[in-house]
Each structure stands twice: as C-alpha cells, then as structure tokens.
Chain A
Amino acid sequence: SFELTQPPSVSVSPGQTASITCSGDKLGDKYACWYQQKPGQSPVLVIYQDTKRPSGIPERFSGSNSGNTATLTISGTQTMDEADYYCQAWDSSTGVFGTGTKVTVL
C-alpha cells in the first residue's frame, strides 16, 4: 500500500527556515498537500497542489514536490508556526496522510 513518511520532529529557531519532508514511492507523480494542526484544533490546509497557498496562508509557507519527496518550507519561522504538520496525497482515489511532523520553534 502507498505510504507517506515524515520525520517525527523538526526544531527551528525563530526567524530561521524549517523544512519538512514527506517521502513516498513516486510521490512526485501525484499532487501533495500539507495541513497544519495546532494542539486541540482541527487541521488547516496550508499548501495544495504541491506549491499553492490557500487564501489567508502567509507567504512564508511554500511547497515543492519531485521524485519521491515533497517538502514544506517555512521561511522566517514564527513562534505561531509551532504545530504538527501532515502531508497528504491520493492513491487510487484514497486519501493517504503522512505520519506527521512536530515543528518546535525555540
């Protein structure tokens, strides 16, 4: 079955760049999206179609997808960006979520 693997955690200093990877077999042949989830809250879409930002999502969030890896990049990370992040793609019309990455800003 299709699986998406993310690093469990990423640490970043305020103002620096955080990169979160999402690995899956030939993921670059599919579209990836990313969700941010803060404690006690529902997931929020931050990137769709590999690189696009929904309305209201800051420009510091960007995405890429090639080969077997999709990447979410947070430039100029702020303390408010501390959250869990999940990648997601579709496999035969089935939604598949990544394992999730906890981003800590310290």
Chain B
Amino acid sequence: EVQLVESGGGLVQPGGSLRLSCAASGFIFSSYPMHWVRQAPGKGLEYVSAISTNGGNTYYANSVKGRFTISRDNSKNTLYLQMGSLRAEDMAVYYCARKRCSGVSCFFDFWGQGTLVTVSS
C-alpha cells in the first residue's frame, strides 16, 4: 500500500525556518518525481515545488523561490522541504504528492495527509 506521511509542521515566527519531511512507503520511491503542494486555510491548492527522481532537477513557484529548498534522500525514501524566511502568507497545510505519468499524461495519484505550518508571532 502506497503511503506518504508528512511531518515537521508547527508554529514558527515570521522570518523563521522549518523543515518538512515526507516519508514514503509501499512503492519504489526513487522511480517517481515528487512534489509539494500547499493549501492556505480556506483556500485552494497551490503548486509549490518539485524534484526529479534523482534530485538533479528542481522547480519552485515564484512565491517561494529563493526561500524554499526541495530535496530527497532515496536511500531513506524521504522527501524534504526546507523553508526559510517564512511569511504569514506561507501559512498552509503542506502536502507531498507522488507524480505519475501515463504516456504524456501526468497527474498526482497519491497524496499525504498534510502537515500544518503556522507562521505567527
């Protein structure tokens, strides 16, 4: 059974840092690109960051570029998101998601349960 379990969320002051983790199991982690998607309270889904299977390619939304760093450790089946210079607008539930492609069609077929990041003084 595919499982994605996020951790590391919590309360942080504006300007602070936090590292999120996503532990994967039930599939060959190193074979899948992985992504972070967030959802601010009462708002829609926002694509945040992506990383290729071997970590050699990464992507960041403009809203987090230069402040967040995505990484993965395939030996530990774990995805990370290092968040820095946090702002009030970064407050959200952060989901990790597995990207699967069927031919040229790609989608997120499994999502974690999410971890809440609260930015407040």
A interface list, Cβ under 8 A from B = 31, 33, 35, 37, 42-45, 48-50, 52, 54, 86, 88, 90, 93-100
In the bound complex, residues from chain B placing their C-beta under 8 Å from that of A49 are 102-103, 105, 107
The 3 A-B pairs with the shortest beta carbon distances in the complex, nearest first, are A49-B105, A31-B105, A95-B47
B interface list, Cβ under 8 A from A = 35, 37, 44-47, 50, 59, 95, 102-109, 111-114
| Count: A-B pairs, CB below 8 Å | 58
Cβ–Cβ contact A88 & B107, under 8 A: yes
Bound complex: CA A93 to CA B104 (Å): 11
Cβ–Cβ contact A94 & B59, under 8 A: yes
In the bound complex, residues from chain A placing their C-beta under 8 Å from that of B59 are 93-94
Cβ–Cβ contact B44 & A42, under 8 A: no
Cβ–Cβ contact B113 & A42, under 8 A: yes
